[in-house]
Structure 1
């Protein structure tokens, strides 16, 4: 399949490595203008350089900002006021016993894994709607359907991502904008 995304701008959060970098690489290979994101400026720029080496004609740049914070999301939107494709990939995970997981850890996971997608979707979806075209993808997880006993806090946030993507898909119906979730597994 040959997908042509020439002229489309894509923001992939949490894209300095792993799934996010792979998604960004695929978008760049399809001709999209790709904006990589990470919390750290130097690591973000290293990923930009790597993507340019791996996809020779890639039109890519980086915007550092911690999407787990309101200020980080605001900084990203300020640097990049509009996108055609938003990939809400950034997230954190890690095993921790339910009975030993304090409220602060639940809140940290919720901010990074759920509120980041809420904030960025709220910022970018109106512009997509007004243009009549846009794509929003949430990286949920199979853990959102099959909650792991050792990462209940993580699984709950990934279930929330599923609910958020489904609700936004219904909200954007008929606008030319699609919202979906991807559920990778181990």
Structure 2
């Protein structure tokens, strides 16, 4: 049953990556290089999937980081507050690595997903709502939003590993996919016994 659910839930990530590539909601390739970024041979290894993945993961992690920053003063459950601190540290580390990878790719930091509310992205409404809550109410909103973020991140990382061109991007995606799966398990453990 778990494998069936895993296989069925992977489709949204593939659909999202495909939609981003088809609709042009990614970095546009340089003329004469339809699937790679022009520049050094290292940058040329990055294809449009790599760029789309990096440019989507950065705002997703930025929004998740804003959510985790609310937890210290609002979480009712000490275990969830501790989890939130570790999640904040992890998002910050991921952001550093993603930004370095974007710079190495040669793609501009164009922020094509700025202001978008896509699956797994913590919405501005969720941030505003969570900022007005505390205790168990905050805990429920926080856990649901972070679970959605982690679930979608894991799916997107799987898509990058399967279709990315740059080995270093696929490697990072594998690390983030594994870390996200571990965080989901830790979030469930922190929330065990809570509604």
Q: Normalised by the size of structure 1, how large is the TM-score?
A: 0.32
Higher relative contact order (CA closer than 8 Å, sequence separation 6+): 2
Q: Normalised by the size of structure 2, how large is the TM-score?
A: 0.31
Higher helix share: 2
